[in-house]
Amino acid sequence: MAVITEQTVPATKTKYSRAPKTAVGRQQERLGWILVFPSVLVVLLVALYPLYETVRLSFTNARLASAREVRNVGFENYQRILEDGLFWSSLQRTLTITVAAVSLEAVLGMIIALAIHSNFRGRGLVRTSMLVPWAIPTVVSSVLWGWMFHDNYGFINSLFYRLGLQDAGLRSWIENPATALGVVIAIDVWKTTPFMALLLLAGLQIIPSDVYEASTVDGASKWQQFWQMTLPLVRPALLVALIFRTMDTFRIFDLIFVLNAGATTTMSVAIYVQQELIQNGRLGYGSAGAVIIFFCIGLMVLGYSRLIRVEEG
């Protein structure tokens, strides 16, 4: 992906900087516009229009299916959200989940990618079975882990008790404020580490093997090879994987919604916005929250793309 942008960006820049000189050039440009028109239309309809609607609603006091008069309230919704302690605590919680889950996934994903990159018997089978957690729909895995962590008939309590790690009795994991966030992070890591590993594996596979052979001849240790060759060479793939995962985790919703929807101990910003929008029917206020999330993610993407650009010089 990074490679593609590198090639296309300079090319398009020069093209748009001046109008085509010849009749053939103009004709070609017109044809180009006609060909992209359907895609542009689809993007406008499914991406830009909802975005426009959300931004428009965020400046009103609209409510779901309400007979109340809708009026423009300016920045009042934004002001009220920014004054709501619950919004800030859920934002902070979301950042905690994102940082913790994505870094764990990156480290574990790298270890797994390196392991399955090497040659061993049954590699195909391991690669396929590794993807199982990623293939399970989030809602299903969330229900599944919810049962495993259940206090009364959960597997985790039973296992820890048998291992002598805890007393018998009803230890709560999901509901206990001390462990609730840890459970969410653990499930997210379990589910998405395979995705991270897969992207990193793709990155590892494009590294030519002769650089390793050359460095082995030069007497580099495996450790040196990893830090000075593998990591720098896999960095573009790692950055792309991190962008995907950061954006995804920041919007975390379904996992928490299924696990313990209403609790404030695990409330993410997406849950906060959903509750305002749907449960409370506050279209205006909830839309303002959605716009704030949109800007947060936008900032993250900007940060990452700067990193990539620095990377590419």
Partner 1 sequence: MARYLPNPVNNLMADAMHGRISRRDIMKKGTALGLSSALMGTILRAESVGAQGTPAAAMPAGYSIEVPAGLPDLTGTTLNVMLGADGPGAAFDQANCDIFAEATGATVNYLKGAESATDRLTFYQQTFASSSNAFDFAMIDVIWPGILATHAVDLSEAVANSGVTYFDRIMQNNTVDDVLTGIPWFTDAGLLYYRTDLLEKYGFAAAPATWQELTDMATEIVAGEAASNSSFTGFTFQGAAYEGLVCNGLEWQFSNGGGTIIEDDGSVSVNNPNTIAAFERAKGWVGTISPQAVTGYMEEDGRGVWQAGNAAFMRNWPYAYSLGAAADSVIAGNFDVTSLPMGDMEGSSNAATLGGWQAFVSKYSESQEAATAFALFVASPEVQKARAIERSGLPTIADLYTDADVLAANPFFERLLDTFQSGSVARPSTASQDLYGEVATEYARTLNEILNGTASEVGAAVEDLAGSLEDIMADL
| Binds partner 1 by CB under 8 A, chosen from 265, 297, 305, 308 | 265
The answer to whether 260 and 174 have CB atoms below 8 angstroms apart is yes
Pick the closest to residue 60 from 47, 69, 50 (CA basis).
Answer: 69
Q: Is position 117 an interface residue for partner 1 (rule: CB under 8 A)?
A: no
Residue among 24 and 65 whose Cβ is closer to partner 1? 65
| Binds partner 1 by CB under 8 A, chosen from 41, 64, 135, 302 | 64
| Binds partner 1 by CB under 8 A, chosen from 114, 263, 297, 307 | 263
Locus of tokens 């008069």: 69
Q: Taking contact as CB under 8 A, which single stretch among the options 119-127, 189-197, 201-209, 278-286 is the one that binds partner 1? A: 278-286
Q: Is position 278 an interface residue for partner 1 (rule: CB under 8 A)?
A: yes
Question: For residues 55-64, b (16+ Cβ closer than 10 Å) or e, as one string?
Answer: eebbbbbbbe
Q: Is position 165 an interface residue for partner 1 (rule: CB under 8 A)?
A: no
Residue 285 phi, psi (nearest 5): -65, -45
Residue among 62 and 199 whose Cβ is closer to partner 1? 62
The one-character DSSP state at 266 is G
| Binds partner 1 by CB under 8 A, chosen from 38, 124, 164, 169 | 169
CA–CA distances in Å: residue 28 to residues 33, 38, 61, 182: 9, 17, 48, 57
Paired residues of 60 in beta bridges? 72
| Binds partner 1 by CB under 8 A, chosen from 6, 76, 175, 254 | 175
Residue among 89 and 215 whose Cβ is closer to partner 1? 89
| Binds partner 1 by CB under 8 A, chosen from 72, 224, 228, 279 | 279
Q: Is position 159 an interface residue for partner 1 (rule: CB under 8 A)?
A: no
> CA-based angle 184:187:193, to the nearest 5?
125
Q: Is position 172 an interface residue for partner 1 (rule: CB under 8 A)?
A: yes
Q: How many residues bind partner 1 (CB under 8 A)?
A: 33
Locus of tokens 């459970």: 183
Question: For residues 191-220, b (16+ Cβ closer than 10 Å) or e, as one string?
Answer: bbbbbbbbbbbebbeebeeeeeeeeeeeeb
Q: Is position 280 an interface residue for partner 1 (rule: CB under 8 A)?
A: yes
List the x/- string, 177-196, binding to partner 1 by CB under 8 A: x-------------------
Residues contacting 35, CB < 8 A, separation 6+: none
Q: Is position 275 an interface residue for partner 1 (rule: CB under 8 A)?
A: yes
* Interface residues toward partner 1, by CB under 8 A: 63-68, 86, 150-153, 168-177, 260-265, 275, 278-282
